[in-house]
Amino acid sequence: MITFIPRPRLLASPRGRDWPLLPDARMPDDRPAAAPRTADVAIVGAGPAGMAVAAALWHRGVRDVVLLDRTGPPCRRFFARVDLLRQRVLRSPYEHHPGVEGYWDCELADFARLHWGLLTPDERREIRMSQAGHRSVVPVDVFEAFCRHVDASHRIGERTWRATVHGLRPSPGGVTVVADGCEIEAAAAVLCLGEERRRAPRAWWGGGSPPPGVSFWDEPVPPADRLAVIGAGLTAAHLVRNALDDGARVHWIVRREAERYQCADVDSTFFRPEGRARFDSVAWDDRLALMRRYRRASVMYEFRPGLRQAEQDGRLTVYRGRAVTEVACAPDGALVRLNDGGTISTDHVVLALGTTRSIGTGLLPDHAVGERNGWPDLHGATLGYRRAPRVFAVGAAAGMVLGPAARNIDGHRVATARVADAVAQVVRGVADDPADPVRFARAGNGAFADAR
């Protein structure tokens, strides 16, 4: 087995380069300040998944689409989180991007090659690795520029409105989306909700908001001479590295016996049709076991040299195999108590506990979600909610259909291929009930080659 270890210098890939892009899609002069009251399709969430769905529908001739996002423009929240962590490269290779599957759009690797002169030597090496069929690492700067290209070439931004969605009311003939100050009547809706940060155990401080001196990974970290980071994954590693770069002494609490370094956090077989078919062929309990096995926290290999050196130098202390029992405010900052009786006194504590999937609970009626073990009841062929067949899910919520790769950017593309075909037929009136696989297949849906 070959271990893929990119050069650590990639972690310092430039950010904020001046990319020559397509002109941004110009907002129509008569574009209303609020979203229109009717649309063929309403997409909730304008991150990479929402962008992929909108672009795919554009190619299928479905262009009366409204995207609603609580932060506004496409992918704003995604890149805000990335930049807050000072993250310069993505874990996903060049094959994973929100471009449209099966159409001759410019793909991410093509886009990077078109701008060869802006790439560093290490970034060019990654492109050559990708061309040779090896796994490669994508700079955040390249990925953001490509997303802006997809946005402009498919006119996504001009159909995106900033609004918080409060609920969906599915009916046999459509879906009503209830958002800030308006209701939108659509033939279909697609939930691209992403993931939210995981809450801390109630026992740590009694529940509710964290005590002073404690914050979560997606909040700014104040300057600190001593910082404690709780968590074992890539987000925790970014926080540790950033604090070390700022001159802090860092305490890193890892519940497992050791942190895991690997180039990917999902087995690559799950990105291929045969891998997804393997997942789809097993019973529910076996799927749950596979999801737990292949979604464990890990850190990219290129972090290892720097973090190991910092540990040897005494700037980083790693508490392996130690569970947190309490996080509390202290007169000079915060403290963390461990299950072995140890106490860590620090200026600030950052919680990097991972994320939880959004499956539609709180937006759809509970009976429509059909929640089971934290997963929604989705149709395998269309990713439509079985009890609300005009509502579809793309992203982590589709995990029990697509497998561990569902929450990855390329998993969004696989999901989008199924959803976009289904939605297009609903809009055209070809399929009244996309949850009926027999009728839907007879209508000519091309997404079934890779579906149950």
**CATH number reported for the structural domain that contains residue 245 in this entry:** 3.50.50.60
Confidence of residue 399 (pLDDT cuts 50, 70, 90): very high
Separation CA 197–CA 182 (nearest Å): 28
The region, left, alpha or beta by phi > 0 then psi within -120 to 50, assigned to residue 213 is left
Q: Which of 286, 319, 353 is the last residue of a domain?
A: 353
* 414 and 439 belong to one structural domain: yes
Instruction: Give me the pLDDT at residue 121, please.
Output: 92
Q: Which of 302, 301, 260, 280 is nearest to 404 (CA)?
A: 280
* 314 and 184 belong to one structural domain: no
pLDDT at 442 over 50: no
Instruction: Give me the pLDDT at residue 436, please.
Output: 53
* 49 and 149 belong to one structural domain: yes
pLDDT at 162 over 90: yes
Instruction: Give me the pLDDT at residue 281, please.
Output: 80
56 Cβ contact list (under 8 Å, min separation 6) = 100, 101, 416, 417, 419, 420
Domain hosting 340: range is 202-262+298-353
Looking at the structure of the chain, the number of domains it has is: 2
* 434 and 345 belong to one structural domain: no
Confidence of residue 214 (pLDDT cuts 50, 70, 90): very high
* 123 and 186 belong to one structural domain: yes
In a domain? residue 336? yes
In a domain? residue 235? yes
In a domain? residue 287? no
Confidence of residue 26 (pLDDT cuts 50, 70, 90): low
* 170 and 226 belong to one structural domain: no
Q: Give the pLDDT confidence of 246-268 residue by residue, as tens digits.
A: 999 999 999 999 999 887 777 77
In a domain? residue 291? no
The fraction of the chain above a pLDDT of 90, given in percent, is 69
Separation CA 193–CA 394 (nearest Å): 8
| Chain centroid, CA 224 distance in Å | 29
Q: Give the pLDDT confidence of 75-132 residue by residue, as tens digits.
A: 999 999 999 999 999 988 888 888 887 777 889 999 999 999 999 999 999 999 888 8
The fraction of the chain above a pLDDT of 70, given in percent, is 91
* 233 and 324 belong to one structural domain: yes
In a domain? residue 3? no
Q: Which of 306, 333, 353 is the last residue of a domain?
A: 353
In a domain? residue 284? no
Instruction: Write phi, then psi, for 170 (nearest 5 degrees).
Output: -75, 150
pLDDT at 5 over 80: no
* Average pLDDT over every residue of 384-388: 96
pTM for the structure as a whole: 0.91
pLDDT at 2 over 60: no
CB 403 within 8 A of CB 270: yes
Separation CA 385–CA 407 (nearest Å): 18
Mean pLDDT of the chain: 89
* 178 and 322 belong to one structural domain: no
Instruction: Give me the pLDDT at residue 101, please.
Output: 75
Tokens of 71: 């932060």
Instruction: Give me the pLDDT at residue 448, please.
Output: 35
* Average pLDDT over every residue of 30-56: 92
